[in-house]
């Protein structure tokens, strides 16, 4: 779990990211404590956006593929607001990353269908049509080669299976082609931690889909969370 203040005029982080290891198990109480510590580190006061790896509707979590199952049905806005001592708005992490790339990154000004994919522990997805978000798509759970896509093509799967960059890129290629057959994106933006090493695997992609690496790299989620918080109406 990581945080940083964001300059929303430029999309740049104000100072270095501060990171604390995700607690195991990643329960609401444990993750709320980490959010509290992150806020205290920056001595932050004011609105706070949180990018969260799950389906989030009106602040309430309704899936838990990569966090503890006790999150399902939990009001994450309320849990983190109490822990942080400031007003918190929670959004799906890939949706947040996509919002940042559409505002400040490689998708800025792009019309049509833009698909953001983030590769990490799982695969997150954010879908936009003419800049309008279609929230909580969860394309990482599509079937790919007989398993969920994130079991085959996430960054964690590359590490787990000991794949070379070229071998992993082959799986990503098949995954992109599979999604392209379903939603016909005009642009696919690839983000997550592996985006910082795009030179190792992007040259191995053969998909004919227009693909770009995220300009904000792995900071897109933080920037998008801040952007979503700014546009959230006051209670």
Answer whether residue 185 is part of any domain: yes
Q: What is the mean pLDDT of residues 38-65?
A: 96
| Helix locations, the chain, DSSP H | 28-42, 76-84, 93-104, 149-153, 155-161, 165-183, 198-201, 220-231
CATH code at position 33? 3.30.420.40
Distance CA 13, CA 19 (A): 14
Answer whether residue 100 is part of any domain: no
What is the predicted pLDDT for the residue at 134? Answer: 97
Answer whether residue 163 is part of any domain: yes
Q: What is the mean pLDDT of residues 117-135?
A: 97
Burial of 206 (0-12, 13-18, 19+ CB in 10 A): exposed
Residue 151 has pLDDT above 60, yes or no: yes
Same domain, 46 and 15: yes
Name the percent of the chain lying above pLDDT 90: 93
Question: How many domains is the chain built from?
Answer: 2
Write down the residue that tokens 């800049």 correspond to.
131
Residue 232 has pLDDT above 80, yes or no: no
Q: For the chain, what is the total number of helices (H) and then of strands (E)?
A: 8, 15
Same domain, 86 and 129: no
Q: What is the mean pLDDT of residues 93-115?
A: 96
Q: What is the mean pLDDT of residues 5-22?
A: 95
Residue 234 has pLDDT above 80, yes or no: no
Bridge partners, residue 152, by sequence: none
Full residue range of the structural domain in which residue 13 is found = 2-92+221-231
Q: pLDDT digit string (tens) for 211-222?
A: 999 999 989 999
Answer whether residue 147 is part of any domain: yes
Confidence of residue 235 (pLDDT cuts 50, 70, 90): very low
């Amino acid at each position: 779990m990581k945080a940083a203040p964001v300059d929303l005029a430029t999309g740049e982080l104000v100072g270095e990211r501060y990171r604390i290891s995700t607690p195991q198990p990643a329960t609401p109480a444990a993750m709320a404590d980490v959010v509290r510590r992150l806020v205290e580190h920056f001595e932050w006061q004011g609105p706070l956006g949180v990018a969260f790896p799950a389906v989030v509707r009106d602040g309430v979590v309704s899936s838990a593929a990569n966090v503890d199952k006790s999150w399902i049905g939990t009001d994450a806005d309320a849990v983190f607001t109490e822990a942080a001592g400031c007003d918190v708005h929670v959004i799906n992490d890939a949706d947040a990353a996509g919002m940042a790339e559409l505002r400040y990154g490689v998708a800025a000004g792009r019309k049509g269908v833009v698909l953001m994919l983030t590769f990490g522990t799982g695969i997150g997805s954010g879908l936009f049509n003419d800049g309008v978000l279609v929230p909580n798509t969860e394309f990482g759970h599509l079937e790919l080669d007989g398993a969920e896509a994130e079991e085959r093509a996430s960054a964690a799967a590359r590490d787990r299976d000991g794949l070379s960059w070229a071998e992993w890129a082959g799986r990503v290629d098949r995954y992109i082609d599979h999604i392209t057959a379903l939603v016909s994106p005009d642009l696919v933006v690839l983000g997550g931690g592996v985006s910082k090493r795009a030179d190792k695997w992007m040259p191995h992609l053969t998909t004919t889909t227009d693909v770009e690496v995220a300009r904000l790299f792995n900071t897109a989620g933080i920037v998008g969370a801040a952007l979503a918080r700014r546009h959230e109406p006051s209670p």
